[in-house]
Structure 1
Amino acid sequence: MNANGYRDYFKVLGVDRGADADTIKRAFRKLARQYHPDVNPGDKAAEARFKEISEAYEVLSDPDKRRRYEQFGQYWSQAGAGGGVGGMDVDFGRYGNFDEFINDLLGRFGGGAQPGGGSGFGFGSGFPGGFGSGGFGAGFPGGGFAGGARSGAANLDAEASIRLSLAEAFRGCERTLAVNEERVAVRIPAGVRPGSRLRLKGKGNLQPGTGRRGDLYLTIQLQEHPVWKLDGDQLRGELPLSLDELALGGQVRVATPDGEASVQVPPGLTPGRSLRLKGKGWPVKGGRGDLLLTPVLKLPEPLSERERTLLEELRAARSADPRAGWIQLAQL
């Protein structure tokens, strides 16, 4: 402070006079963490410095106060506003803990709970869209990150979605996310289901000046697979079979999530009736669900001359009409 009582708030925060709101907020966050009284217990100099940077941020983060400050200098608070920071003479003894003071302070800054439950402080600057080894940002269904009211205090929790392949969800995987300029490794457990929510403790929104962080909740989404579909604890898929395999049965090689396996197809298997492979389905606590294979007729394309000849002979030798009785039942 100069002898005439003027504080250069831009200098206090270490920013240029033309700094925008985001630059001022970042500078305040950095300094607030450094001089936070909880980080410097009993340090009166740090406490005084924290009050000073808080005072500077209160003025420069408010467009009207900043305008009057830049126009009238140390007399800004008397220039049509009726009161102001007034040196921020704060009695810490009136608060139960420092978080109570910060919540009160941020409420005066306009950073408390917002209508609809938001905290007023987001994840900072935007992130590239999508997950994986990159970051994530505002491109999520439902608007990206969201918070809700919690006991009247600012809710710092955030929510986002993460999209996995079926193989990643089946086996489990690890993803690296960019959160608030921090790279966070997330372990996805094997057998996670669509709609499940994973909690990353302390990785949510950051409240400036306090160091408090909410939690990040990730909602699992699964990409479609060309063969397998998840149905509870079971995996379902179609099994292509030839005409002779459907009619005569026999051992056939099939694919499972664990690799190839051999399955006995019963004679006369009709399409729509499923084959069950126990313990080959989705991972569950203490084991696995079942794998269900639904047979579908797969004819060769094109038919060879030999296959065509045999099918012609089969048609000539057929002893029953497959639609016997069906026509009458189907009529309305």
Structure 2
Amino acid sequence: MAGSGYKDYFQVLGVDRSADADAIKRAFRKLARQYHPDVNPGDASAEARFKEISEAYEVLSDPDKRRRYEQFGQYWNQAGASGGAGPGMDVDFGRYGNFDDFINDLLGRFGGPAGAGGFQGSGFPGGGFPGGGFPGGGFPRGNAAARTPVNLDAEATVSISFAEAFRGTERALSVNNERVQVRIPAGVKNGSRLRLKGKGNLQPGTGRRGDLYLNLNVKEHSVWRLDGEQLQADLPVSLDELALGATVTVMTPDGEAQVSIPAGTAPGRSLRLKGKGWPLKGRRGDLLLTLALKMPSSWTADEQELLNKLREQRSENPRHDWLRSAAL
């Protein structure tokens, strides 16, 4: 192209003459994505434009070529060039498997520095998932055989309530400007990871798309807690219910239920309700209710009278064994 008249390569790429290497590379990526023949099949003008911006990038991305171009203009290639092909070039697009292979090979031949592209998902408020940039994990040097495969996968974090984790729920997310309905199954746990196949980053010009991985954050509940596969809760009980035994009404994830407390039960003992716990694969786990003695904030006169009678009639010192064992 040197012999066919002067071309303002800065103008071709749409950058200032003071633009640094990063600005030039960003401009080339944007234009290459816009005018690549794979994106504009059968468009001869787009192919010509693509060759023109490729020629401009070849010169301006090379510090020595850029210096000679700025000094000698259209005769830069005759001013001390030492071997190698000039900027004019014919591109055989058929030899590339996809757009990414071409861009990587082109930047490698031009000597462009490797750079990060694409995005990795992050937590997003309100189900939004930001997209943008140039997906695909960068433009490494070297030939295609030695290049690391492009990673188009993305990640994000979704927060759900304890009840939603128990019953399952749905979320509408915005991924790369696309509305995606996500079904979260019942029984997921904090830290669970869901894979949405084909909903990750999109590689322009190829149609290739990665997967989207959702990391689930299950919020804590004020009563229920999950320990492994066991759903647990503390059950408040009174002194007389522990001493005399009782049948009490409790709440389970399925609604109210009746449980029996044996007479003489000590605080801290757990009652097991089989099949009333956390959803597991094809079954339900057990529910454990730990008996917790709840003392009243104040006693009535009648209650105090009964407690005094109990103290007078009590036949056992509760600290008898403790006193002997605690002696040093």
What is aligned with 1:319?
315
SS of residue in 2 equivalent to 1:325: helix
Match of 1:275 among 271, 296, 300: 271
Unaligned stretches of 5+ residues in structure 1: 115-119, 138-146
Deviation at 1:193, TM superposition (A): 1.9
What is aligned with 1:299?
295
Deviates more, 1:196-205 or 1:176-185: 176-185
What is aligned with 2:102?
101
Deviation at 1:159, TM superposition (A): 3.0
Contact 1:65 1:76 in 2 (8 A): no
Answer yes or no: is 1:92 the counterpart of 2:93: yes
CA spacing shift, 1:317–1:204, aligned 2, 3 Å = same
C-alpha distance in 1, partners of 2:111/2:5? Answer: 26
Q: How does 1:226-237 map to 2 (within 5 A)?
A: 226-237=222-233
C-alpha distance in 2, partners of 1:64/1:238? Answer: 71
SS of residue in 2 equivalent to 1:187: strand
Normalising by structure 1, we get a TM-score of 0.72
Deviation at 1:309, TM superposition (A): 2.6
What is aligned with 1:243?
239
Match of 2:282 among 286, 289, 301: 286
SS of residue in 2 equivalent to 1:132: helix
What is aligned with 2:173?
177
What is aligned with 1:143?
none
CA spacing shift, 1:42–1:209, aligned 2, 3 Å = closer
Q: Which of these two proteins has the greater Rg computed from alpha carbons?
A: 2
Q: How does 1:86-235 map to 2 (within 5 A)?
A: 86-96=87-97, 100-105=101-106, 107=108, 120-123=116-119, 130-135=124-129, 152-207=148-203, 209-235=205-231
Unaligned stretches of 5+ residues in structure 2: 132-136, 141-145
Letter aligned with residue 127 of structure 2: S
For residues 243-280 of structure 1, the C-alpha deviation after alignment (integer angstroms, 9 at most, x for no partner) is 11111222211122222222222222212221111111
Contact 1:237 1:292 in 2 (8 A): yes
Deviation at 1:44, TM superposition (A): 5.2
For residues 215-234 of structure 1, the C-alpha deviation after alignment (integer angstroms, 9 at most, x for no partner) is 22222232222221112222
Residue identity over aligned pairs, in percent, reads 61
Deviation at 1:134, TM superposition (A): 3.7
For residues 104-154 of structure 1, the C-alpha deviation after alignment (integer angstroms, 9 at most, x for no partner) is 235568586x7xxxxx21339x98x644334469xxxxxxxxx89998223
For residues 91-111 of structure 1, the C-alpha deviation after alignment (integer angstroms, 9 at most, x for no partner) is 234345555334423556858
C-alpha distance in 2, partners of 1:267/1:22? Answer: 80
CA spacing shift, 1:222–1:44, aligned 2, 3 Å = same
For residues 55-81 of structure 1, the C-alpha deviation after alignment (integer angstroms, 9 at most, x for no partner) is 567778x69699869957965975999
Contact 2:124 2:156 in 1 (8 A): no
